[in-house]
Amino acid sequence: MLIWGNKQYVVDKIISDNGFHIFTKELAELVRGNEWVDKRWDRFRKEIKGIGPASASEILCHTHPEECAIWNRRAYVGLRYLEVPDLPRHDYQLTGKVYLRIIDVMGSLMEELRRVSL
């Protein structure tokens, strides 16, 4: 698809909007910071433009697969199907506190699936 043809443009835009030094500093803080993930999440989302919850959660889940969860449209649809209450519908609603709750829900779901051996 043509939309995915120029991926370098997206990278250049994120670096241009945030500055290379600031972006790398905030990315390192998100991934390896000493604070709880909710504080790191809120800081990253506040400081970095151009990376939404789906990308930020993918980065966290890639580096910390047992402690974090991916949040995107498919995760929203799946949890909604399972009737999980109070899910964020919009990006701005996904605060660090809400992300912690999602991690907890996904962790409980993972434990239950392991329990029933699926």
Cβ neighbours of residue 49 closer than 8 Å, sequence gap 6 or more: 14, 17, 18
pLDDT tens for residues 52-109?
999 999 999 999 999 999 999 999 999 999 999 999 998 889 999 999 999 999 999 9
Total number of domains constituting the chain: 1
| pTM, rounded to two decimals | 0.87
Domain range for 18 is 2-115
Measured in whole angstroms, how far is the alpha carbon of residue 5 from the centre of its chain? 24
